């Protein structure tokens, strides 16, 4: 039983502490833990209470819960109203299916029917259809013969808000209606035609996520061209690599990025990457540094109507990059049907509805940037974009003022909010759901996130660029335990196998195709070799995550089984990091591994370094700083080294491969 002293120690005054103790101690002996927590989370706890109190009551209620076996206890439960109004329930009603597990089983047993239903439900516009369904490259049969997916992004009324934006240090929100976004998109498409671009040409975007970059993205695709996505944090060498692999004929960029009062040059990095023709966005008159480059205002056409270029469903729309097993990132094409997967996941699993407001701090160089565009616009919702740093209170005020209804995060961001308590006292009651992706999360930080909005569910969401969305996720019709996945995504299934290729409840995940969204080719690698060669059974697709199925058929993810890692929500290979660090003076070789914290949550980057024979051990702090500088300048400043360990030699197999798993498993 609770005591008043325990509650006071959480930062609650004595009078309120006495009331809470009396109420909770009356509930605890009379109700099962789940019913008790529902009552406490809905009627006692508020976002204004210190998180220490939330944590104490949660731990008290679930003191006897077997977490080792069953994972995290539920912290959110759908009400009857939640279930009745959910998009999933509407689909179940139409199909006369009574339970969610039955719905999932139906969706994977009837994949063609499921995806055709989603095409119709999302109102995907076809320019040509076939009488009989035809298989596309993913293996799914649809009636789509020709389309341009951008046309399906403008089904909302013209005066509906498509984008809400706010800049750092500016309290004012700016909006763009669907009509205004369509006009700007068309001016971009016409501008591309006017500079001689043809359908099929690759055009890069190296810009932060803002209203202009969204219109640029849509304009490129509408013109029948292909976006080459480059994250604005990358160093010139990495920009050059992506431009080369994507065969970009031009690049949209920005003169500077303003962050925490600093002007970070971006166009300068693009020039240093020896980029092709650059179109430079700037609010002032950009200083064009090379002959042939253009200012945004000079590029933009005056004509604001454009007929979308009809494309085959398998035609490329976007080249995105993900880590490979070598130092070169995999170049993964998205097609005109990949966005249907993103929009369907948003509609079903995130329960996105017309008029919702979606915020997810991301970038067009990562899959969640295009995902956010399609998940919002195809579902007739609003994209909320913050131009600044999301780790502080100003971002939280933006979420509050924009009335965000679905807030996406990476766990590293939540950890920053929790450590500084910067979001305390904000009104996030408009939020209906959170979503978390990119890294492993932990219970405490996800409980903290739920508490910020008065206990709303977190849709844990995991998939990849090569999936176009998620293979494992959550719903708003199932109880939500923090840091736990509740289901395979609808229309997708997977299997778990151990190291010997035998079925297991805790092992490597293999996706069962087909599904819209699944990649079918790579620009710079053998797709079959990467995803299908050597799988435990035929018709399985390798993915690389380590997943545990719990007794209640929920799931936990334990990171990666291969030599890739997720850092700050970005997937990167050990080889990419080692390629940068191995050229540092005095180093013979390095091994980069991601180590999971004991309490769960985002992985930490640890570098094992072997020094050249002539070198003496350097000062640890200096050495750490040197390696961090190299990583920031030549790969990505978002990758932070947690620890550097100097060793005499790296463990190797008989064939001389580094055994990174042994390094990961070291205490």
Report which secondary-structure segment, H or E, holds 108.
Answer: helix 100-109
- The residues near 656 (Cβ < 8 Å, ≥ 6 apart) are none
- The residues near 624 (Cβ < 8 Å, ≥ 6 apart) are 641, 643, 644
Cα–Cα distances (Å) from 533 to 292, 328, 542, in that order, read 45, 20, 8
pLDDT at 327 over 70: no
| Position 461 confidence tier, pLDDT thresholds 50, 70, 90 | very high
How much is the pLDDT for 180?
Answer: 98
How much is the pLDDT for 569?
Answer: 67
CB distance 190 to 306 below 8 Å? yes
38 plus 166 within the same structural domain: no
| Position 620 confidence tier, pLDDT thresholds 50, 70, 90 | confident
How much is the pLDDT for 229?
Answer: 98
Residue 640, in any domain of the structure: yes
Alpha-carbon distance of 132 to 472, in angstroms, equals 31
pLDDT at 284 over 80: no
pLDDT at 618 over 90: no
Q: What is the pLDDT of residues 164-184, one digit of tens each?
A: 999 998 889 999 999 999 999
CA 504 from centroid of its chain's CA atoms: 27
pLDDT at 118 over 70: yes
Cα dihedral value 411, 414, 415, 416, nearest 10: 130
Question: Which residue intervals of 326-392 are DSSP H helices?
Answer: 338-348, 368-377
| Position 621 confidence tier, pLDDT thresholds 50, 70, 90 | confident
535 plus 609 within the same structural domain: no
How much is the pLDDT for 656?
Answer: 60
Residue 180, in any domain of the structure: yes
DSSP letter at 151? G
Q: What is the pLDDT of residues 401-429, one digit of tens each?
A: 999 999 999 998 999 999 999 999 999 99
Q: What is the pLDDT of residues 485-495, one digit of tens each?
A: 999 999 999 99
Mean of pLDDT values over 28-50: 95
pLDDT at 654 over 60: no
The burial class, CB within 10 Å (0-12 / 13-18 / 19+), for 621 is exposed
Q: What is the pLDDT of residues 509-543, one digit of tens each?
A: 999 999 999 999 999 999 999 999 999 999 999 99
Cα–Cα distances (Å) from 83 to 92, 220, 477, in that order, read 11, 39, 5
pLDDT at 303 over 60: yes
User: Last residue of some domain: 521, 547, 573?
Assistant: 547
427 plus 367 within the same structural domain: yes
What's the mean pLDDT when you consider all of the chain? 93
The burial class, CB within 10 Å (0-12 / 13-18 / 19+), for 252 is buried
pLDDT at 655 over 60: no
- What is the phi-psi region of residue 600: left when phi exceeds 0, alpha when psi lies from -120 to 50, beta otherwise? left
Residue 140, in any domain of the structure: no
Mean of pLDDT values over 383-394: 96
483 plus 390 within the same structural domain: yes
Residue 79, in any domain of the structure: no
What crossing angle do the helices spanning 338-348 and 87-95 adopt, rounded to 10°? 100
580 plus 448 within the same structural domain: no
Tally the domains of the chain: 3
Residue 81, in any domain of the structure: no
Residue 243, in any domain of the structure: yes
387 plus 501 within the same structural domain: yes
pLDDT at 582 over 90: no
Residue 133, in any domain of the structure: no
271 plus 166 within the same structural domain: yes
User: Last residue of some domain: 35, 65, 95?
Assistant: 65
470 plus 520 within the same structural domain: yes
User: Last residue of some domain: 38, 65, 92?
Assistant: 65
| Position 662 confidence tier, pLDDT thresholds 50, 70, 90 | confident
The alpha carbons of the chain give a radius of gyration, in whole angstroms, of 25
Q: What is the pLDDT of residues 122-156, one digit of tens each?
A: 999 999 999 999 999 999 999 999 999 999 999 99
Considering only CA atoms, which of 575, 509, 216 is closest in space to residue 373? 216
Residue 76, in any domain of the structure: no
Secondary structure class of 592 (helix, strand, coil): strand
Residue 13 sits in which domain range?
4-65
């Amino acid at each position: 039983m609770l005591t008043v002293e325990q509650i006071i120690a959480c930062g609650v005054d004595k009078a309120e502490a006495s009331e809470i103790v009396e109420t909770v101690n009356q509930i605890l002996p009379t109700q099962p833990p789940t019913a008790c927590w529902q009552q406490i989370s809905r009627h006692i706890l508020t976002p204004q209470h210190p998180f220490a109190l939330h944590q104490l009551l949660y731990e008290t209620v679930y003191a006897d819960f077997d977490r080792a076996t069953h994972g995290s206890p539920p912290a959110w439960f759908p009400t009857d109203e939640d279930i009745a109004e959910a998009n999933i329930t509407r689909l179940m009603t139409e199909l006369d299916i009574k339970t969610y597990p039955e719905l999932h089983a139906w969706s994977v047993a009837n994949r063609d029917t499921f995806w055709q239903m989603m095409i119709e439900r999302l109102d995907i516009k076809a320019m040509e259809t076939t009488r009989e369904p035809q298989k596309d490259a993913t293996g799914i049969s649809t009636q789509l013969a020709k389309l341009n997916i951008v046309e399906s992004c403008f089904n909302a009324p013209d005066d509906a808000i498509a984008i809400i934006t706010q800049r750092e240090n500016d309290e004012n929100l700016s909006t763009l209606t669907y009509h205004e976004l369509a006009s700007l998109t068309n001016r971009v498409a016409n501008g591309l035609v006017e500079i001689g671009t043809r359908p099929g040409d690759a055009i890069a975007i190296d810009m932060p996520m803002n209203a202009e970059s969204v219109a640029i993205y849509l304009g490129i695709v509408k013109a029948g061209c292909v976006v080459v996505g480059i994250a604005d944090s990358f160093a010139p060498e990495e920009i050059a690599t992506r431009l080369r692999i994507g065969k970009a004929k031009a690049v949209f960029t920005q003169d500077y990025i303003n962050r925490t009062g600093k002007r970070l040059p971006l166009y300068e990095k693009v020039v240093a990457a020896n980029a092709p023709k650059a179109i430079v966005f700037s609010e002032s008159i950009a200083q064009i540094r090379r002959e042939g480059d253009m200012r945004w205002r000079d590029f933009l056409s005056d004509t604001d109507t454009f007929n979308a270029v009809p494309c085959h469903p398998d035609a490329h729309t976007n080249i995105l990059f993900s880590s490979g097993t070598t130092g070169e990132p995999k170049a993964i094409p998205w097609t005109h049907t990949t966005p249907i997967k993103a929009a369907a996941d948003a509609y079903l699993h995130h329960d996105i509805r017309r008029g919702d407001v979606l915020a997810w701090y991301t970038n067009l160089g990562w899959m969640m940037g295009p995902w956010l565009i399609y998940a919002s616009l195809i579902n007739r919702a609003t994209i909320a974009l913050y131009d600044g740093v999301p780790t502080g209170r100003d971002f939280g005020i933006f979420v509050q003022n924009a009335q965000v209804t679905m807030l996406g995060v990476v766990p590293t961001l939540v950890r920053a909010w929790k450590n500084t308590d910067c979001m305390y006292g904000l009104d996030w009651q408009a939020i209906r759901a959170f979503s978390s992706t990119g890294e492993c999360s932990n219970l405490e930080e996800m409980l903290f996130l739920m508490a910020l909005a008065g206990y709303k569910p977190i849709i844990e969401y995991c998939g990849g660029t090569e999936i176009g969305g998620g293979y494992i996720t959550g719903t708003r019709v199932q109880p939500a335990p923090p840091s736990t996945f509740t289901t395979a995504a609808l229309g997708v299934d997977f299997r778990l196998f151990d190291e010997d290729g035998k079925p297991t409840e805790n092992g490597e995940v293999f996706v069962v195709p087909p599904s819209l969204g699944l990649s079918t080719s790579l620009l710079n690698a053998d797709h079959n070799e990467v995803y299908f060669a050597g799988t435990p059974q035929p018709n399985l697709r390798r993915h690389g995550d380590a997943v545990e199925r719990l007794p209640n058929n929920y799931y936990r993810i334990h990171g990666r089984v291969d030599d890739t890692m997720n850092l700050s929500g970005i997937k990167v290979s050990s080889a990419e990091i080692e390629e940068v660090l191995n050229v540092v003076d005095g180093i013979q070789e390095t091994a980069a591994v991601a180590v999971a914290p004991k309490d769960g949550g985002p992985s930490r980057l640890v570098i094992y370094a072997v020094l050249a024979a002539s070198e003496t051990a350097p000062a640890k702090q200096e050495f750490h700083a040197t390696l961090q500088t190299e990583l920031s300048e030549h790969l990505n400043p978002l990758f932070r080294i947690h620890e550097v360990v100097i060793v005499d030699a790296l463990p190797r197999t008989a064939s001389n491969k580094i055994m990174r798993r042994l390094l990961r498993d070291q205490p």
